[in-house]
Amino acid sequence: MEKIIGIDLGTTNSVVAILEGGEPVIIPNSRGDRLTPSIVAFSDKREILVGQVAKNQIVINSERSVSSVKRHMGTDYKIKIGRKKYTPQEISSFILRKLKKDAEEYLQTPITKAVITVPAYFDDNQRQATKDAGKIAGLEVLRIINEPTAAALSYGLRHEENQIVIVLDLGGGTYDVSILELGDGVFEVRSTSGVNHLGGDDFDERIINYLADRFEEQEKIDLRQDRMALQKLKEEAEKAKIELSEATVATINIPFITADANGPKHLNIELSRTEFEGLIQDLINQMIPPIEKALEDASLSSAEINRVILAGGSTRIPAVREAFRSALDNEFYRKVNPDECVALGAAIQAGILGGDVRGVVLVDVTPLSLGIETEGGIFVPLINRNTTIPTASSKTFTTIADGQSVVEVHVLQGENPQADKNISLGKFQLGGIRSARKGDPHINVEFDIDVDGIVHVTAEDVDTGNQQTIRITNAMSYSSEEIERMVAEAELQIAQSEKYNELLVIKHDVEKLVKEVNQALEQGSSEIDKQMSEELTNALNDLQAALNVEDIEEIQFNQTALLAMYEELRKTLKNDSGAEVKVAGS
Ligand code: AMP
């Protein structure tokens, strides 16, 4: 049976896990790290860097580096690198490809199937985009599961007793609250809530602005206008924030951050925990209403919660914990690692799908109401939020004019009675309606939400029985042809990147060899006959020509030829002088 991996595709870091011997375990990446930064960079030399290597070069190559792309998933945002524009799906696919490759190396087997987690509060566009990213990475995404649900799975597998748990998940970019009822192997989500764009990145942003403002007051230079300085600020702001989870004061020290006519400038600013808390207080305040909403939707009081589970790196911030504690009046369960529990839960879900975990049933819900726009821009929900998925609802449409052959339906997700205040999933058209008086045709449209939380729409002309599956026309969703094109492009780029890496290694060896041959030619000029000297010079020229055009086969061919000649030369020199000459690359 093929192994299925579980992936936590995070805003800041991504983690991959697998079920081994009935237990979920984290798969370390090629560096041996358990967390892989969700950063992709394109060097100006065609190389694609993912993870820590991309993070390491971000200050000097910020224009060609992409971080926190998850924040743009499900939007039509494009990332321009050089002349090429990438979608968030394509950038995410490079991260997924790296995780897949690391898993393949660790497990010593090809991997083609995965379970990927998303924030519970992700809408249909964002879920679809995540699934597409998986496809572009060459992964069959067997299931999309909600991050807090995954966290609860990793906690609950060892806890048999019936209980109600709340998962508070605050990562780099999103905030999710889920309430689950666990018991007898059933994990039932009672309600979910959250904020789509709220997390560690926003806290970093506040610190960056604080530091930039202070620096501007002192030096009259706005660091935000300088890409490299801003990137340095970003790194140090995040470090300071993490430090402030332990320490009460952090010192941000960035020598040579910029310069003016008077010389180099250094940034040295202290930030206390209290000051930091002041900077993010309004963001922390935003975290309480979703808890209240989730409790209300589950018809529970905070006293009925048996366990509070924290997921996501930002839940380590003391002020965040304090806010959670006062909202719930409950202690946290501390044996769950907030960085890893989501990936571990994804691996358990993979185990359930693969048949390795038995007796566990997961019942999840849709986070947002699904509905349509009706006359006057009014939103009419057809499936309410927190409905168990999969689920379906149908509605009959008719025409408003005689002979009307097309009806347009606008599908949305959200809770606002005003259609335009909700998230548009797109519009679709019911075509080919038979010619009839207005109000006569009956077209039954079924809206269903699958186990991944993804919306499908089918329609049937009740009178003729004609069935049609409708694709919602939406800038963010791709056809299988478009996905195939993106796969081909990504594979080509990766092949070029790998070829470039191979070229670098070969170049390194060749340059060493060329240097040695030149040295030998110089040192032994009196002992080397003219013909050998000419032959060597020609071979060196041929090799240089191949290097110039970066033709790997040609380089290797000429390298072998030069190496053979060099060995000849060594023998000659050794016979003449008795001295040993070391050969590079042999
Ligand atoms: P995640 O998406 O779960 O990987 O969470 C990443 C976010 O958590 C980033 O914004 C990190 O800066 C933040 N983070 C990680 N560790 C800490 C910490 N000890 N204190 C504060 N924030 C942290």
Tens-digit pLDDT profile for residues 42-55: 987 778 999 999 99
Backbone dihedral angles phi then psi of residue 121, each to the nearest 5 degrees: -85, 5
DSSP tag of 365:
B
Does one domain contain both 330 and 376?
no
> Domain check: are 168 and 220 in the same one?
no
Report DSSP letters for 72-126, one per residue: GTTS---EEETTEEE-HHHHHHHHHHHHHHHHHHHHTS---EEEEEE-TT--HHH
Number of Cβ atoms within 10 Å of the Cβ of 144: 24
Question: Which two three-digit tokens encode residue 40?
Answer: 């992709």
Q: Which residue has the higher pLDDT, 465 or 356?
A: 356
The yes-or-no verdict on residue 246 having pLDDT over 80 is yes
Sign of the Cα pseudo-torsion (249, 338, 90, 414, in order): negative
Q: 15 and 107 share a domain?
A: yes
Residues 113 and 56 both lie in one domain: yes
d(CA 206, CA 283): 10
For residues 132 and 222, membership in a common domain is answered with no
Pocket test for ligand 1, best of 8, 71, 242 (most atoms within 8 A of CB): 242
Ligand 1 atom index nearest CA of 312: 3
The DSSP code sequence of 133-186 is: HHHHTT-EEEEEEEHHHHHHHHHHTT--S-EEEEEEEE-SS-EEEEEEEEETTE
- Say what percent of the chain tops pLDDT 90: 68
- Pairing type for strands 467-470 and 249-260 reads unpaired
Is residue 290 domain-shared with residue 421, that is, in the same domain?
no
Examine residue 582 and state whether it is found in any structural domain, yes or no: no
The CATH number of residue 515's host domain is: 1.20.1270.10
Asked if the structure places residue 585 within a domain, the reply is: no
pLDDT band at 228; cut points 50, 70, 90: very high
Phi and psi torsions of 425, nearest 5°: -95, -10
What CA–CA distances, in Å, run from 296 to 49, 192, 244, 291?
45, 10, 33, 9
- How do residues 531-576 score in pLDDT, each as one tens digit? 888 888 898 999 988 888 888 889 999 999 999 988 888 887 777 6
314 C-alpha to center of ligand 1: Å? 4
Same domain, yes or no, for 265 and 125? no
Output phi, psi for 194, to 5 deg.
165, -170
pLDDT above 90: residue 267: yes
Token digits of residue 454: 């993804």
Could you tell which of 7, 11, 12 is best to mutate to test the pocket of ligand 1, judged by most ligand atoms within 8 Å of the CB? Answer: 12
The total number of structural domains that make up the chain: 4
- Report the number of secondary-structure helices (H) and strands (E) in the chain: 13, 27
What is the atom index within ligand 1 of the atom nearest the CA of 245?
A: 20
Other Cβ atoms less than 10 A from the Cβ of 508: the count is: 12
Of 283, 299, 330, the residue at which a domain comes to its end is: 283
- List, for residues 59-95, the tens digit of each pLDDT value: 999 999 999 999 999 999 999 998 899 999 999 999 9
Q: Which pTM was predicted?
A: 0.87
Domain identity same for 294 and 435: no
- Residue 505 CA: distances (Å) to CA of 44, 509, 517: 17, 7, 19
Where a domain ends, among 365, 390, 411?
365
260 and 293 part of one domain: no
Instruction: Answer yes or no: do 174 and 259 share one domain.
Output: no
User: How far apart are alpha carbons 319 and 275 in whole angstroms?
Assistant: 12
Q: Which residues line ligand 1 (CB under 6 A)?
A: 10-13, 171-172, 200-201, 238, 241-242, 245, 312-314, 316-317, 339
* Peptide bond just before 390 cis, omega within 30 deg: yes
pLDDT digits (tens, 9 = 90+) for 487-523: 888 888 888 888 888 888 888 888 888 888 888 888 7
Please check the confidence at residue 147 and state whether its pLDDT lies above 70: yes
How far is ligand 1, taken at its centre, from the CA of residue 200, in Å?
6
Point out the ligand 1 atom lying closest to the alpha carbon of residue 311: 3
Range 262-271, long-range pairs (CB < 8 A, 24+ positions): 265/219, 265/221, 267/211, 267/215, 267/223, 267/233, 269/211, 269/214, 269/215, 271/207, 271/210, 271/211, 271/240, 271/244
Active site residues: 8, 70, 147, 169
Do 48 and 89 belong to one domain?
Answer: yes
| Residue 8 Cα to ligand 1 middle (Å) | 14
| Ligand 1 midpoint to CA 385 (Å) | 29
Tell me the C-alpha distance between 354 and 169, whole Å.
27
CATH classification at residue 63: 3.30.420.40
Q: Is the pLDDT of residue 586 over 80?
A: no
Whether 351 and 379 share a structural domain: no
User: Is 476 part of any domain?
Assistant: no
Average pLDDT over all residues of the chain? 91
Q: Please state which of the ranges 57-66, 149-158, 332-341, 461-470 shows the lowest mean pLDDT.
A: 461-470
**Ligand 1, atom 9, residue with closest C-alpha:** 172
| Residue-wise pLDDT tens digits, 273-298 | 999 999 999 999 999 999 999 999 99
Total number of residues shown for the chain? 586
Residue 499's H or E segment, with its range, is helix 480-523
Ligand 1 centre distance from Cα of residue 172 (Å): 6
**CATH number for 272:** 3.90.640.10
Residue 89 lies in a domain: yes
Q: Note whether residue 456 is domain-resident.
A: yes
Nearest CA to ligand 1 atom 14: 313
Domain residue limits at 10: 4-198+286-365
Nearest to 478 by CA among 85, 68, 89: 89
Of 442, 471, 500, which one is at a domain's C-terminal end? 471
Other CB atoms within a 10 A radius of the CB of residue 373 amount to: 20
